[in-house]
Chain A
Amino acid sequence: MTTVPADVVEFRGAAPWRRALRLHGWTIAVWLVLLAMVPYWRSLSQQDFKFDVQALAIDAMPLCFAAMAQAVVVISGGIDLSIGSLMAVINVLSAREMVDMSFRQALAFSLLLILLAALASGFTGLIITLTRIPDIVVTLGMLFVWQGVALWIMEIPGGGVPLDFSNLALGNVGSTSIPNAAAVVLVAWLVLWLPIRWLRPGLAIYAVGSSRNSAYLSGIGVTRTRVGAYLLAGCFTGLGGLALSASSGIGDPNSGTTYTLNSVAAVVLGGVSLLGGVGGLIGVIAAAYVLTMSKIVLLLRGTDPNYANVYQGVLIILVVVVGGLLTRKTRT
């Protein structure tokens, strides 16, 4: 009765390079910004390059992990305000327990703590998915719960970590000028994120963040995926807490407070859409370095450290405004 209309209906979208630019343009831009900042940063510093790079990497390491944790959650369509305080919990717990440990024991204990952080974060994810309360409310609640727990573990700053453990953050890789602090971030990305990213679990995280309904209809276990994202984020958070311990050498129950806001800032600056489903971790790592470097530049210029708060606040808002305007243009 009916026949297929003979004319071929073809959908032709944007040219491939345009599409690639739209998908990866932001990430490239953040790396370019980072590179562009280097000469200015160098021009202010009196120290040699190797030392500066090392200081930068050490300073940026906890934020890198916090931002990676935040990025995974945001990509899956959520937001986690409790990352900073969970980092503090891991920080004080490691500093309290590791004081008298050998390096090997400390390493083993670190794995345990990463697992613990993953479980804690997964628990948050479980509450979110089971009760169907928005992420922001649950994680706001957990922010205070973890802060309380950190205070309970350690009321005032103290404790310590083995010297060799500190060196994981402070040293360099062998005799090269690659700082350990950067290498650890790279390894974590290689081990924890890269294998997942392009396989079904990773695609599922993007799918769930992009459209929960479509993901479900595509046969994705939405609950499973969202909890999984929180679990993975917990691993990064745990690493962030350990990074705090290794780089500062002590535990401080208030050490995590700045990381919640800064991780959100790094995620936005790194090109991850707060609506979920868009972006990647490479850009976010660059963004964490940009934020850290801008703080260092301010310090080097002798600016009142309080102004750093002002600049950072303004910077974050500007990034979001500009990013919002750009994405609105490209996505009609």
Chain B
Amino acid sequence: MTAAPETLERENRLQALQRFLVDNPVVVLVGVLVLLFVLTDLVNRHEAGEPFVTWNQLSTTFLVAAPLGMIAAGQTLVMLTGGVDLSVALTATAAAFATAWQGGNGTAQGIVAGLAVGLGIGLVNGIGVGVFRVNPLIMTLGTSSVTFGLLSIYAGRAFEKVVPNLVETLGSDRFFDYLPANLILWAVLAAILILGLRYTGYGRMLYAVGDNAVAARLAGVRVWQVLVVAYALCGLFSAFGGLLLVGFTNNPDLGLATPYLLQSVAAVVIGGTSIFGGWGSYSGTIVGVLILTVLGSLLTLLDAMEWQRQVIYGSIIIVLTAIYARVSAPE
């Protein structure tokens, strides 16, 4: 009538394992990352005759990944509320410009200007989405349209662009040969974010609002406050990303952060954060960022063309979301 006890037990254990993996996608993601490293290593040995997994390459991977890690941090916060911020790339670019513009007047002033611009754009987004309840997609597309217009007007005018030394150091230097300076900043912010999401009242409210805004309101949460802070933080994190980028290239230009828009969304989605909000974590996003970066190296190794990259990134977003949707299907 019923299955033998052992098989039942095995099924239960399988179910428990499945549930564990669904609840903790990071475990699977780290596996994917390791596989990707091994694959890239094999390809590199075949193509260039040397291993890819070296201290130097690992260090480079983190160096390249850190700006995306910053921008994706902001994107994670916003996506946890069930929204999306399509202005992150232009916010980062605007912050980079602001820093280079004020950089001549002192390091502190440059950095503050950059971060302030990021915070400002984020606040505008947050007020639009939180207070005026504009669809996040439209609000952030709108602000990026405005930002782009203003940037192209001011970028066209001649002004002295000075990237402060500190920003340059943060963006491109490595300590002890292998430790990228930007990794330190990233690690600190990541720790704050991961702990903050889990152990602060704001973190709880962010998840609550993303999961069920009506219920959150009923519990006395003023939803707009949570949203404004989320978008403002997203702007701030994007600005950090922009600073690291301009510190790396040392030359702000209009296309500085363009590829990071899609990649930030992709990293968050790969990291297992629900597109509807209320579920996910920054640790997942970090692994997502690393996966994307290693994949980028792999594609470079394979001499992939721009169009092939686009197709691959686009497909990854769709396929991975499909897989997540399947494994965590409503019970």
Contacts and interface: CB of A to CB of B under 8 A. Distances in A.
The reply to whether A and B meet directly (CB within 8 Å) is yes
A136 B137 contact: yes
Q: Determine which residue in B133, B305, B308, B314 has the highest number of CB atoms from chain A within 10 A of its CB, and name it.
A: B314
B132 interface: yes
A268 B306 CA distance: 33
B55 interface: no
Nearest to B125: A317
A143 B145 contact: no
A216 interface: no
A214 to B, nearest CB: 19
A132 interface: yes
Output the residue of A127, A149, A307, A321 with the most chain B CB within 10 A: A321
Band of interface residues on A: 35 or more
Interface in A177-207: none
B134 A317 contact: yes
Contacts of B305: 151-152
Given A148-B307, A307-B153, A313 B318 contact: no
Contact of A321 (B132, B309, B310, B317): B132
A132 B306 contact: no
Interface in A60-91: 79
B106 to A, nearest CB: 29
Given A144-B310, A316-B142, A274 B135 contact: yes
A98 B317 CA distance: 34
A141 interface: yes
Nearest to A147: B310
Given A132-B325, A310-B146, A314-B146, A137 B134 contact: no
B139 A317 contact: yes
Contact of A306 (B137, B153, B314): B153
Contacts of A79: 137
Contacts of A48: none
B143 interface: yes
B318 A141 contact: yes
Contacts of B318: 127, 131, 133, 137-138, 141-142
Contact of B311 (A132, A136, A149, A304): A149
B145 A321 contact: no
A144 B262 contact: yes
A223 interface: no
B146 A313 contact: yes
Contacts of A143: 314
A143 to B, nearest CB: 7
A27 to B, nearest CB: 20
B149 interface: yes
Contacts of A210: none
B142 A141 contact: no
Nearest to B265: A140
A134 interface: yes
B252 interface: no
Given A136-B275, A261-B141, A317-B142, A309 B149 contact: yes
A264 interface: yes
Contacts of A314: 142, 146
B134 A320 contact: yes
A179 to B, nearest CB: 28
B188 interface: no
Given A142-B314, A144-B314, A133 B322 contact: yes
Nearest to B313: A144
A261 B134 contact: no
A99 interface: no
B311 A144 contact: yes
Contacts of B138: 264-265, 268, 274, 316-317, 320
B331 to A, nearest CB: 15
- Which of A142, A150, A320 has the most CB atoms of chain B within a 10 A radius of its CB? A320
Contacts of B132: 321, 324-325
Most A CB within 10 A of own CB, among B139, B141, B145, B149: B145
Contacts of B297: none
Most B CB within 10 A of own CB, among A79, A148, A150 = A148
B270 to A, nearest CB: 12
A248 interface: no
A142 B262 CA distance: 12
Contacts of A328: 133
B135 A320 contact: yes
Contact of B310 (A132, A134, A148, A317): A148
B321 interface: yes
A313 B145 contact: yes
Shortest Cβ-Cβ A-B pairs, 8 listed: A309-B149, A313-B145, A148-B310, A144-B314, A310-B149, A313-B146, A151-B307, A148-B311
18 contacts: A127-B322, A131-B325, A133-B318, A136-B275, A141-B314, A143-B314, A145-B311, A145-B314, A147-B310, A148-B306, A148-B314, A151-B305, A152-B305, A313-B143, A313-B145, A313-B146, A314-B146, A321-B134
Interface of A: 79, 127, 131-134, 136-138, 140-145, 147-152, 261, 264-265, 268, 274, 304, 306-314, 316-317, 320-321, 324-325, 328
Given A132-B325, A310-B145, 10 more contacts: A134-B321, A138-B318, A141-B318, A148-B311, A151-B306, A304-B153, A306-B153, A309-B146, A312-B149, A313-B147
